[in-house]
Amino acid sequence: FFSVNCKDMASGSSVVALKYKDGVMLATDTLLSYGSLARYPSVQRIKTVGDFTAIAASGDYADFQHIAAQADDLLLEDTLCEDYCTVGPKEVYNWLTRVMYNRRCNFNPLLNTAIVVGYRDGESFCGFVDSVGTHFEAEECTAVGMAQHIGLPLLRKRVEENPNMTREQALKTLEEVMAVMFYRDCRTINKIQVADCTATGVTISEPKMLETQWKYKAMDFEHTKLITIPN
């Protein structure tokens, strides 16, 4: 019996990543949607892989859990070798590109688009991998999901304005982009988590609620309503 994964079920939306002066940062919201239903509002969509790397992905969450389980197997195999070498972000990234491409060649792709970030040996890393194995290393920033179309231009603008960001500036930029995604993407909420990769390791923040503003005139009901009922 041959089983093919044809359609995602509970799925996550945007992921954004940005390099800064002392590391690289990645942000996701915590929502899983079941079609148009905001089904699970408090799910961590970031996976740490070893001491140097973090992965996050848009798309089917079950497939992302499968990737996470395979990453744990990779780390176990690496540990059992006892060669005093550990996988870093570049190794995890190259491994993931092969996993995605292999599943695509078997006509059973993992329905995810992933970002791999990490920091090792004084160098930040940020890589993109999609469901058919297409991949590239990002020089400054990248995004997946709806943020690839709406958030990435804003990320690039902020990097152009300040190419040597501090950690605080990078965090503020990611929060700004995720707030825009909350306004524009109906599969996103305003609760986010951030993974920060620096020389000291990978840390994942607690979920944080973003401050939002709905009092703009363009968002007022009187301005946006489709039907006007006469007095």
DSSP for 122-185?
Answer: TEEEEEEE-TTS-EEE-SSEEEEGGGGTTHHHHHHHHHHH-TT--HHHHHHHHHHHHHHHHHH-
Give 131-144 pLDDT, tens digit per residue: 999 999 999 999 99
pLDDT at 231: 59
Burial of 142 (0-12, 13-18, 19+ CB in 10 A): buried
Mean pLDDT of the chain: 91
pLDDT at 6: 61
pTM (2 decimals)?
A: 0.90
169 pLDDT above the threshold of 80: yes
